[in-house]
Amino acid sequence: MKIIYNIGIFLYSLFARILSPFSHKAYLWTKGRKGWYLKLKEQVDPAAKYIWIHCASLGEFEQGRTVIEAIRNEKPQYKIVLTFFSPSGYEIRKNYKYADIVCYLPPDTRHNAERFVELIRPEKVIFVKYEFWHHFISALNNKGISLVLISGIFRDDHFFFRWYGRFFRKILEKFTWFYVQDRESEDILARQGFTNVTVAGDSRFDRVMQIAREAKTIPEFELFRKGEKLLLIGSSWPKDEEIITQYINMHPALMKWVFAPHEPDPVNIERLEKLLTVQSIRFSEFREEYSDARVLIIDNVGMLSSAYRYAWMAVVGGGFGKGIHNVLEPACWGIPVMFGPRHDKFREAVEMKANGSGATFSNYREFEMIIDRFMNNNTLYTEASETSLRYVQENAGATHRIMEGLF
């Protein structure tokens, strides 16, 4: 299996180089790793004590972010090396102020792993959620360096636990500790003989509460809302928009509406505008004289998490594609959250649906029924709102539990 693994790593790197002239992501992946050793060596302080934190991409970074910032604030004697596998993480966070060094993880060969570990000599290493690189983990294990996994989730059908998974289970044996999100993961690991496990929870709950505390006021939203109820559709995709715009066109006066498209480029926004038969305005063009518009379209990136504070209810997009986006961001403002049908792999969405603070729709009729139910039953709406906020608050605290174990 190790031979197959090594061939897979080689082929992945080779295909990335071949595709780089035709794929921007492959180009960034290849360019970012070129000459990695010399670039990293220029940044490393030989006298410093380093903690190395690795994230696959941006989503994993957001899960580990509160831990990174807690280390920076509470343990200033350490410097932080932050690595990414994917360009979608590195390119957005390469200037992240809480890390001393931000770089790509080199391809997982034995030679690269040994050189990387020897160069930074980390005192502790944290992998976020997943990423199980055989040679890097072996190099850390050979030097007796503490390696922990945070925000981990394990399922019975993971490749570790299949008939061909012995090689990968051996990788798990090299971890010092696992901080998992739920009891199910703990039980699965226990059945495999792992007792070095703590149920710490999901640090994303801490992150969304931090985001809410730091949220900006947006005066334009107050002007636009004008005291009406407001439904905010966050990270929307075309299928979400087709259903919701149909409802808006039928019921424009029911409340105010805000779209934050997942891709806020001009072509996509123009497509969204054409779906509407009521007056809409882009945020960049909004003035008080346009406050009678029924729909506001956010045409920028970075505003969504603060915008949820103005919503009476939220819809989180993506549930008709690969999966929904972050339902916790609106939930932390104490509002009900709606989402599409493809949410089964998102524990928080499943739990919010079960406790009544979340609702799912697969078509126009189901969307209409949910809106009508909350509009016509104030007691139901209040209970859902309170449950939404309580759900986030009761699941916070993972960062503290992880830090307590790490140090």
Q: Which residues, including other chains, have CB under 8 Å from residue 310's CB and lie 6 or more apart?
A: 218, 221, 222, 225, 230, 232, 258
| C-beta neighbour count of 145 within 10 angstroms | 17
CATH of 2-201, one of 3.30.420.40, 3.90.1010.10, 3.40.50.11720, 3.40.50.10860: 3.40.50.11720
Q: Averaged over 4-17, what is the pLDDT?
A: 91
Nearest to 230 by CA among 200, 254, 210, 204: 254
What pLDDT sits at residue 302?
Answer: 87
pLDDT for the residue 88 = 87
Least confident of 10-19, 152-161, 177-186, 394-403: 152-161
The per-residue pLDDT for 17 is 92
Mean pLDDT of 224-230: 95
The one-letter code for the residue type at 311 is A
Query: In the prediction, which pLDDT does 315 show?
Result: 98
Q: What is the mean pLDDT of residues 49-70?
A: 95
10 Å CB burial of residue 8 (0-12, 13-18, 19+) is exposed
pLDDT at 322: 86
**Residue-level pLDDT at 378:** 96
Categorize the per-residue pLDDT at 277 as very low, low, confident or very high, splitting at 50, 70 and 90. Answer: very high
**Which ranges in 227-363 belong to alpha helices (H)?**
238-250, 266-275, 304-307, 328-331, 347-355
* Sign (positive or negative) of CA dihedral 48, 51, 54, 55: negative
User: Which among 390, 219, 245 is positioned nearest to 315, based on CA atoms?
Assistant: 245
Chain region(s) in the chain for CATH 3.40.50.2000: 217-394
Run of H or E including 261: strand 256-261
Question: Is residue 157's pLDDT more than 90?
Answer: no
pLDDT tens, 208-224?
A: 999 999 999 999 999 99
pLDDT tens-digit readout, 378-394: 999 999 999 999 999 99
Quote the percentage of the chain above a pLDDT of 90. 91
Reply yes or no on whether the pLDDT at 356 is more than 90: yes
**C-beta separation of 229 from 252 below 8 A:** no
Task: Give the angle 57-59-65 at the CA atoms, nearest 5°.
Answer: 95
Q: Residue 138's CB: how many other CB atoms inside 10 A?
A: 18
pLDDT band at residue 159 using 50, 70 and 90 as cut-offs: confident
- CA geometry: angle at 117 spanning 112 and 121, to 5°? 160
Where does CATH 3.40.50.11720 sit in the chain? Answer: 2-201
Q: Cβ-count burial of 53 within 10 angstroms (0-12 exposed, 13-18 middle, 19+ buried)? A: buried
Please give the mean pLDDT across all residues of the chain.
95
pLDDT, tens digit, 9 for 90 and up, residues 163-201 = 888 888 999 999 999 999 999 999 999 999 999 999 999
Distance in angstroms (rounded) separating the CA atoms of residues 336 and 329: 11
Pick the CATH number of 217-394 from 3.30.70.1150, 3.40.50.720, 3.40.50.2000, 3.30.499.10: 3.40.50.2000
What does the longest C-alpha to C-alpha distance in the chain come to?
Answer: 67
Q: Strands, DSSP E only, in 20-121?
A: 49-55, 78-84, 101-104
Distance between CA atoms of 71 and 317, rounded to whole angstroms?
A: 33
